[in-house]
Amino acid sequence: MNRFEIKVLFGFAEFFRILRKVILINRSIYIKLKNYSLLICLLTLLGQPTMAWQGPASKAKKYKVVLDAGHGGKDPGTRGKSLKEKDVVLPVTLMVGKYLETLTDNIEVIYTRKKDVYSHPKVRAIMANEAEADLFVSIHANAMNPGYESVSGTEVFVMGTKNEGRNFEVAKRENSVILLEENYEEIYQGFDPNSPEIDIMFSIQQEAYQENSIILADNIDQQFIKRAGRKSRGVKQSSLWVLWSTYMPSVLIELGYLTNPKEEKDLGNKEVQDYLASAIFRAIRDYFEYIESTGN
């Protein structure tokens, strides 16, 4: 594929954004439009100027935030000596939701799970897309191979194709849950983070959300450092399926390393969990305040 063809593909980004407003694109469903004139009519209507009469003053916008406690049920995630990832991230996620529900009046919280149950990543992405959520926040805990028990710290990931070094290891581990599905090749339609086609599709579908995803990720990272007192390993990019499949600003948070004995102890501590949850809450709250102040 030459440079011109790639530029043409990128030029369709705005078209796809409008198309998604008309039809909720679900990769598992092949949408057959028998009457193409209807689609053209709908797209034309979207491009018309707004009518002068706006009706009664509308209420303040209610934002939707999907909180995803990673793993669950038959998928335990990473493990420390005594803790499983699925059991650490669930209470933190529920605390984040509680803060959002009780301390804000403009945020609706949607949970992908509220107990120890399994749902594959596609279901979580579909849930967020069908809700037309404004944010998708997936919460996880990290791990390293034997011999690297000293590694510690939080990380916040946004979708990207720079799968180098440690970022690639995280992508492989988090995407490996896909293999739990008997028909995963059909469900995930050949998702391969390393293919050039995926790189181009990501660029088209995610460019509208990337800037805001990074803003949120940086908010979370700074809150972890300044308010929760956690060691940070920074904001990073990686090809994570659950982020690639959501049509909104999305981040994946790694709370720390269960393979580090001290950090495992911290992550099992209710007070530390509360610090982490309140940091995520403040970052989300501040993100929407920024969005409203800038009109983004």
Cα–Cα distances in angstroms (integers) from residue 146 to residues 116, 151, 239, 264, in the given order: 27, 11, 24, 15
CA 295 to chain centre: 22
Per-residue confidence (pLDDT) for residue 200, from 0 to 100 = 55
Residue 120 is predicted with a pLDDT of 77
User: For position 146, what pLDDT does the model report?
Assistant: 93
> How far is residue 49's CA from residue 19's CA, in Å, rounded to a whole number?
18
* pTM of the predicted structure, to 2 decimals: 0.71
Laid out side by side, the sheet with 154-159 consists of 107-111, 63-69, 135-142, 250-257, 154-159, 232-238
Give the pLDDT confidence score for residue 237 in this predicted structure.
85
Q: What is the pLDDT of residue 278?
A: 98
List phi, psi (to 5°) of 157.
-110, 140
Q: Output the pLDDT for position 245.
A: 77
* Closest to 152 in 3D by CA, of 263, 72, 54: 263
Residue 113: what pLDDT?
96
Give the pLDDT score at 95: 98
- The DSSP string of 138-170 is EEEEE---TT-TT---EEEEEE-S---THHHHH
Residue with tokens 């509208």: 208
Alpha-carbon Rg for the chain in angstroms: 20
Which residues of the chain carry a pLDDT beneath 70?
1-60, 161-208, 241
Among 140, 139, 122, CA closest to 245: 122
State the DSSP string of 30-95: ----S-HHHHHHHHHHHTSPPPS---SPPPPP-EEEEEEE--BTTB--SB-SS-BHHHHHHHHHHH
pLDDT tens-digit series, residues 173-217 = 444 454 445 554 444 455 554 455 555 555 555 566 889 999 999
Cα–Cα nearest to 293, from 222, 215, 179 = 215
CB 72 within 8 A of CB 116: yes
Q: What is the pLDDT of residue 274?
A: 98
